[in-house]
Amino acid sequence: MIALLHQIPSEATIRKELRKIIFGRNVFCPFCRSRHVHRSEARYWCTRCRTHFSLLSGTWLANLKLSLRTFWALLWCWTQKVPVQQTQKLCHVSEVSVAHWFRQFRLHLPDFDPILNGVIQMDEAYFSSLSLVMAKQIGSKCLAHVVLPKPSVDKRDATEFLFQHVEPQSNLQTDGAGIYKAIERWWPVRHTVDIHRKFQFGRTSEIEGMFGVLRTFIRRMYHHTTPEYLPEYVSEFCIRFSSPEIFESPSQYLSKTLMPVPTC
C-alpha cells in the first residue's frame, strides 16, 4: 500500500537522505567522532574506537524497528496533519502504533517558549478538567501558552503567566474577566479591555480565533483528547503555527530534530 503513495521515496533514497541529515558530507563515528569509518552494507565500523554502528545509532531513532518506508510514511502523514485513522489505513499499521509514533514526533519537536512583546492578546479556554492560558503577539506568529491541571484560572495564574511570557511595557488586550482586573498593578503592562456584553470583540478576536483553530486541529487529527495528552497537543499546535517550515516534509522535520545524541 505504501508503494502507492508517490510521496514516499525508495528505501535507498531515504537512507541517503538520512545520511545527509545526520552526518552531512562524510560519515563519522557517533561515539568518538572519528572519520576513520568503514562501511559494509548498512553497517559502519569505526577503526579508532572499534565500535560498530548504524546510520541511526546515537539518534533518538536508534532502536527503530519499522522499515524506513513505513517510518517515512508515518512521518509524512503526521507532518501533513493526516488524521490518526487515515494514517492507520494508509500505512498498514495498528492504531496503537500510529499513536506511538505521532507521540514520538510530537515529543521530539524543538522547545519553543517565546517571551512576547508589543501588542498582545491573552485569553483562557477550558477543556473539562484542564485550563489553557494562551497569548498571541499581534502581527507575528508568536504564541505563548500554559496548560493548568485545574478547571478554572485565577488571578495568580494570570499574573504568573505574564511574569514568564510577557515583556514589561507591552500592550495587553483581554476580555473583561475578573482575573484581569487591575492586572497592570501586578505587572507593568498597558492594559485595554473588550467588554463582550457591549459587543466589543476587536481586542480579543485573534486569540479567540486561535482557540477555535486549536479545537478543530485536535478533533480532526487526534479525534478526541484526554487530560494526559492535551498539553502535548497544544504544544504541537503552537509549534505548527509558529514554525510551519518544520512540517513542510519529513526531511525538514528530521533536519531540525535528528541531531546525533552526544555520547560520553
* Contact positions vs Zn ion (CB under 5 A): 29, 31-32, 34, 46, 48-49
All residues at 6 or more sequence positions from 181 whose CB lies less than 8 Å from its CB, including other chains: 155
Could you tell me if 82 and 25 are in contact, meaning their C-beta atoms sit under 8 angstroms apart?
no
The residue among 62 and 179 lying less far from Zn ion, judged by its C-beta, is 62
For the bound state, the minimum distance from the C-beta of residue 29 to Zn ion, rounded and expressed in Å, comes to: 3
For the bound state, the minimum distance from the C-beta of residue 262 to Zn ion, rounded and expressed in Å, comes to: 14
For the bound state, the minimum distance from the C-beta of residue 263 to Zn ion, rounded and expressed in Å, comes to: 10
Length of the chain: 264
The residue among 51 and 97 lying less far from Zn ion, judged by its C-beta, is 51
DSSP for 157-186, please give it: HHHHHHHHHB-TT-EEEEES-GGGTTGGGT
CA distance 10 to 58: 23
The residue among 49 and 213 lying less far from Zn ion, judged by its C-beta, is 49
For the bound state, the minimum distance from the C-beta of residue 61 to Zn ion, rounded and expressed in Å, comes to: 19
Distances (CA, A) of 119 to 20, 46, 164, 171, 173: 41, 54, 16, 5, 7
The residue among 57 and 137 lying less far from Zn ion, judged by its C-beta, is 57
For the bound state, the minimum distance from the C-beta of residue 162 to Zn ion, rounded and expressed in Å, comes to: 49
The residue among 44 and 102 lying less far from Zn ion, judged by its C-beta, is 44
Q: Is 256 exposed, middle or buried (0-12, 13-18, 19+ CB in 10 A)?
A: middle
